[in-house]
Chains A and B, each alone.
Chain A
Amino acid sequence: MTTAHGIQSAAWLLIALPLLSAGVLLVAGRRADKWAHVVGAAVPVVLFGYAVMLFFSVKGEGNREINLHLYSWIPVAGFKVDAGLLIDPLSMVFVLLITGVGSLIHIYAVGYMAHDEGRRRFFGYFNYFIAVMLLLVLANSYLALYVGWEGVGLASYLLISFYYSRNIAATAGNKAFFANRVGDVGLSIAIMIMFAYVGSTSYADVLYGDTQLTKGVATAIGFMLLLGACGKSGQFPLQTWLPDAMEGPTPVSALIHAATMVTAGVYLIARSAPVFDVSQAARTAVVVVGAITLLYGCVCGCGQDDLKRVLAYSTVSQIGYMFLAVGLGPGVYAIGIIHLVGHGFFKAALFLSAGSVMHAMNDRIDMRRFGGLFRVMPITYGVFVCGYLAIIGFPLATGFWTKDKIIEAALDKGGTSGWVLGVVALAGAGLTAFYMTRALVMTFHGERRWEDDVHPHEASRSMTYPMIALGVLSLVGGYLLIFGGGLQHWLTPSVGPSVEEGVHTVSTLVLTAITLVVVALGVLGGWVAFGRKPVPISQPVGVSPVTTAARRNIYADAFNEMVLQRPGQWLSRALVYFDNRGVDGAVTGLAAGFGGGSARLKRTQTGFVRSYALSMLGGTIAVVAVLLAVRFQ
């Protein structure tokens, strides 16, 4: 590890600058309404410029793990936590992703939020998000990461409930925060275990220090980190908040709930690679969570009529792929990160075009009332198609490079579990193709099913340009990432070397062919079911139990309500009753008993205030008297 110098020493500005602008925008009040969006959008662009320079500076180093010590944060005896940043290949990838995609989405939001009276507040929150997200990935200790971790949770909460006048949005924000806090219990405990056994919470000591973690401790830390990761990344069993998070403005869904924040769980696991390397049990847990969530998201995605919710479930399932990858352990971490970056491109493209559609359709998002939009919104359509090709893994588009690698890695795990995971990942690819085709066809093709007051039109340039950029990235980004093993080599210092190309369980060529066939079947299925006959404008009833389950997110919300929410409310009410009647009653009754019955107590209460002061004085005299007695005994 080397010490930061030159331009690297200014990396703290990545956090301080957006934090400052967020503070200014939020405190300045209405008088800043005129220029707030300009400042808000300029900040991430400036940061991106700096991040690129920082990237080349890091690239030029022999040792690419650069530590930037800032100050002593919490020094209490053995517990010494410094505020400091770790600039290394892994954090650099995230910094570029967050500031790069972040800049495009900020620019898009200038147009998207143009007619919203809360635009200044929006940019304040959005810049705050950039600051804490960068802190999350740049922190050099788990405790500092935790600050960013809950900070992005707050940003997410604020932006989901941005339209707080609607109770549904406010509730969705709360749900997100609560689910995240459940995960944060795990992260907290993980950090406590680190301190109790290693005596530190910094990456340098916990991950790369002299103390080799024992298997038991690594397993405990691994499971707790996984709980945190599940909360943040919307993974099973804490996944239900993410689809509801679509109540926020669409740029939020694109940046926070697709491209960056929800992938923080993957970052956490990849960052903690040395911990997971020690514990097979923890790795297995990650893989299982990933596999379950992957299928869960796909199935639910098939049953949604709300375009943004389709994309949200798609995010849930794509992050499942990433969990699967990082859970496979040494050699595969980098593949998970590559898919994460690629997903950042194409999911942002899909969300931004969905936002453009929503904008054009007077904020309506029900795909049953869309149809035939490709004629009136050609650019949006083009971008959506780019994202579509990327996510289904169309040859040479991003997903083709990044997702197929995960399927391959799953199969390469070997044994029964390898086959099971490989088949799950493959099935996921087919289902993804199905629901994405369904979304594409229902939104852009077929007959027009618009309501009468809707007059769709293409969006302004501040929206279309960033969309086009992301569309292009969706097509070619994957190839750029994978080209010559570039990103894998780059990440080696952080997550260890990738598996070398060797003998695969199924040869790459055959596997690619199989995958393409499965994807083609999915596309065909989607087109046969939704593209050939008119789409009914209301949800068909009397459908199969599977469809019903998919529409109701496989009863996850119902389960939570039945098992957590209602019993929690009952418990709370019962305790309130108990505390008022039981505890208080007992104590008051006891007091009344001493005082000679409650009647006397009541009489005392109605007395003059002055008499209490007198009794106080009487008490003090008694004290002195007792003391005198003691003295002269």
Chain B
Amino acid sequence: MHNPALVILVLIPLIGSVAVFSLRQEQAKLAKQLSLAVSLIVVVYTAVVGFAFHTDAHAERFQFRGSWSWIKAFNVHIAVGVDGIALVLVAMSVVLVPAVVLASWNSFDSRSGAEEIVAPGAKQRSVKNYFALLLLLEFFMIGVFTATDVFLFYVFFEAMLVPMYFIIGSFGGPRRQYAAMKFFLYSLVGGLLMLASVIGLYVTTGSRSFAITDLIGKVPDGATQKWLFLGFFIAFAIKAPLVPFHTWLPDAGAEAPAGGAALLVGVLDKVGTFGFLRYCLPLFPGASRYFAPTILILSVIGILYAAFLAIGQRDMKRLVAYTSVAHFGFIGLGIFAFTTQGGTGAVLYMVNHGLSTGALFIVVGLLIARGKSRNVDDYGGAAKVTPILAGLFLLTGLSALALPGMSTFVSEFLVLVGTFTRHKGLAVLATTGIVLAAIYVLYLYQRTFQGRVSEKVAKFRDLNVRETFAVAPLIALIIVLGVYPKPILDVINPAVRATLHDVHQSDPTPDLGTAVGGVR
């Protein structure tokens, strides 16, 4: 078990990051080009790995496994491997990085005129450090998804905070310090709870191993399992975030630079929902079933509550952040409905949400870079002046409201239908969320791009080729996966089925016998 494929994948961005860090400040252009090249190499490499992944019935659950001893005293290993869930999330993450690199090209370059809002009196920011941090973040992101050792996962989970903390705190908007601190504290609290559970896991299972495959089915049922579950769950629920653990996200999402926000909400938050599937369900099946009703209700509340909040926002980035909270409600619903459709839908939702919300933060950022304001009231009529930006903005918005024909629809419908087969009332309530989604997306579009062109907006410049290429591939991917999602579903499906098997659940069978008023 020394397959180096994934270790190489993890190391490419790390080496890239070090290389970019070691450049001189004035080599900003080289830093950008190098970062773009590295992130594209990672995409190509991931694609190669992805094509080698087996999806047939007898394929191993974790593939490309590699394991090397790390801390001998506790039997901690640098153990990596991917199942279908981890693979698609890695793929989504690495696709997002070059888009973010392209979108943030001139974001911190005061001469370009394309920089985002800066706090008054902020000093000149280091362009190369930003791109080095992006690559460092990519290293942690790939690491956290590919780790198959719980301790290694925990280390990545915590360490991931650091580059994001600097991205928000050093490159963010006017209230960046506050937002970064809040983000850090919330995550740290969650992380500590998880740490307690990780230790508990090591002690209670008695397996003296942190390998996930050794731990599945080893945690004794009962109160201990519930407490350990809660430690993991709260950490993940903060990260995801589920209502009511969400209040750090609007601040962090709003103050982070657009590219950072795209990765924060698109990828980092996914670690939470990924954690539900990878750790909560398989390790604590009894507790998962015990807490599932509560979590499902919280998820539905989140869908509706956050959607109303999004409708009421004036700050565009806060608005997008709240839409994500609503979307995380859907993901939570799909995971804890314990059906193949719900689970597969939830994983596909994670991928789609990464692409779609990532793109949404990027287009919002491109608009903000032109208007130097996050307030929607400062815009209006921009479609006339910037048709390309308007078109991409609208398409991205449509993907956020899960328009059929786009991949977001496939995942949202799978989640709903998977929930419906078990919990009809909750699924119906969640479905009404699609009306609210239409309202927050189109209302945002109306206030920014439609209506009369104001004097300020009239001076906007449309997207250039680089900016277009930051968003267009993401949209194209969303459309292609909406029309033909089978390849990705085939990758996700076996992993979800294995997870449901861990939690001892199978799909309800369609049956007219149980129907209301069953008169034939």
The interface of chain A, by Cβ under 8 A from chain B, is: 26, 71-79, 132, 143, 146-147, 149-151, 154, 157, 161, 164-167, 170-171, 173-174, 177-178, 181-182, 184-185, 188-189, 191-193, 195-200, 211-217, 219-220, 568-569, 571-573, 575-576, 579, 583-584, 587-588, 591, 604-606, 609, 612-613, 616, 619-620, 623, 626-628, 630-631
Contacts and interface: CB of A to CB of B under 8 A. Distances in A.
A150 B512 contact: no
A146 B520 contact: no
Contacts of A576: 309, 312-313
6 nearest CB pairs, A to B: A216-B517, A199-B510, A77-B340, A572-B312, A170-B450, A584-B247
Contacts of A76: 340-341, 344-345, 414, 489, 493
A433 B345 CA distance: 53
Contacts of A154: 398, 403
A575 to B, nearest CB: 5
A569 B439 CA distance: 11
Contact of B178 (A171, A214, A605): A605
Interface stretch (B12-20, B218-226, B363-371, B415-423): B415-423
A575 B312 contact: yes
B308 A197 contact: no
Given A188-B416, A215-B519, 9 more contacts: A79-B418, A143-B413, A173-B442, A185-B434, A616-B158, A620-B158, A626-B199, A627-B73, A627-B74
Contact of B405 (A147, A167, A215, A579): A147
A308 B184 CA distance: 58
Contacts, number: 216
A29 to B, nearest CB: 8
Given A214-B520, A616-B158, A75 B486 contact: yes
A128 to B, nearest CB: 11
Interface string B274-318: 000000000000000000000000000000010011011100000
B236 to A, nearest CB: 17
Contacts of B518: 214, 216
B451 A182 contact: no
Contacts of A188: 413, 416, 431, 434
Contact of A579 (B182, B247, B413, B484): B247
Given A195-B420, A575-B309, A167 B452 contact: yes
Contacts of B439: 178
Interface residues of B, number: 91
A591 B431 CA distance: 35
A570 to B, nearest CB: 10
Interface stretch (B57-65, B81-89, B160-168): B160-168
Interface of B: 73-74, 155, 158, 161-162, 165-166, 169-170, 177-178, 181-182, 184-185, 188-189, 191-192, 195, 199, 202-203, 244-247, 305, 308-309, 311-313, 340-341, 344-345, 381, 383-384, 391, 398, 403-405, 409-410, 413-414, 416-418, 420-421, 424, 427-428, 431-432, 434-435, 438-439, 442-443, 446, 449-453, 484-486, 489-490, 493, 497, 507-512, 515-520
A214 B184 contact: no
Contact of A150 (B169, B404, B450, B511): B404
Contacts of A189: 420, 427-428, 431
B231 to A, nearest CB: 14
Given A181-B434, A216-B516, A627-B74, A79 B417 contact: yes
Contact of B453 (A165, A167, A213, A591): A165
B162 A177 contact: no
Contacts of A196: 417, 420-421, 424, 508, 510
B464 to A, nearest CB: 14
| Among B73, B493, B509, B510, residue most surrounded by chain A Cβ atoms (within 10 Å) | B510
Contacts of A569: 312
A569 B516 CA distance: 36
B511 A616 contact: no
A609 B125 CA distance: 14
A432 B166 CA distance: 69
A573 B312 contact: yes
A193 B431 CA distance: 13
Contact of A161 (B184, B185, B450, B509): B450
A75 B416 contact: no
Contact of B161 (A173, A219, A616): A616
B421 A214 contact: no
Nearest to A163: B450
A193 B177 CA distance: 49
6 contacts: A150-B403, A150-B405, A151-B403, A181-B435, A219-B517, A631-B73
B342 to A, nearest CB: 10
Contact of B431 (A79, A167, A185, A604): A185
Given A77-B507, A78-B507, A154-B403, A197 B515 contact: yes
Nearest to B151: A627
